[in-house]
Amino acid sequence: MKHSTTVAYYSLIEALRSGLPWLAAACLIAVLGLAGFLSQVAITEATALQASTAGALLRPCAVFLITAHVVASVAREANDKGLELTLALPISRPAYYLGKLLGFVCAGALLATLFALPLLAWAKPADLAAWWISLAAETALAAAAALFFASALTQTVAAIAAAVGLYLLGRSIAAIQAIAGSPLAADSVPAQAARWIVDALSLLLPRLDAVTRADWLLYGAPAAAELAHALSGLALYFLLLTAAGLFDFSRRNL
């Protein structure tokens, strides 16, 4: 546990000293500027438009930034031979992997906090707290996915594409199911097979469409039980990705 905490501390220091804070600040300024511009041209509900626009855009920004940072950090450490140097010390592979993941999760939580603070101007604190907790959980899941793909794949672009693709599928699988099961869809055998494939795929993906919704900032957060149910699904998928990453990292020859 001590070794994992040490690795997590230095991973967080690396995130704070990298370009991540500057990119996060640039994204925040750009999103708030766009939200302010749209509120000026809106005829009615300017405040609601600002809140919904900022919440809807800051969410993917946070996920993409933490994904890109994790993949870039793993690639840089592999290129600099820092991984071999670290594992030469008296530290186990599971402790190292869990330490890196913990550091990236903390960086994602700080990113979610930075993006949530400006929204206090438009949203109620209780509703914003639920949105913030959900965004922190979502960035943690994105960090786990990015670390797994960055460790399993050898190319940076492939790892980012795989992590982002998993996230996009999790966001859109409910809409894909609705389209596949529409009454207007054909009733042929290929259409039935497509529906079965989509339903099976939905069981393997996290339901990201149910968390960190921008409408929470306008109409209130869901009930505690509903929020806990949605976050428990992310937690389960986070544990599955962590277990898969530990298995792959422990068996791989460096």
What is the pLDDT of the chain when averaged over all its residues? 85
Output phi, psi for 184, to 5 deg: -80, -10
| CA–CA dist 13, 188 (Å, integer) | 56
pLDDT digits (tens, 9 = 90+) for 25-70: 999 999 988 888 877 776 667 777 788 888 889 999 999 999 999 9
Does the pLDDT of residue 107 top 90, yes or no? yes
Per-residue model confidence (pLDDT) at position 103: 93
171-197, pLDDT tens digit by residue? Answer: 888 777 777 666 655 566 666 776 777
Q: Does pTM surpass 0.95?
A: no
pLDDT (mean) for 96-108? 93
- In this prediction, residues 242-246 reach a mean pLDDT of 91
Please give the structure tokens belonging to residue 140.
């943690």
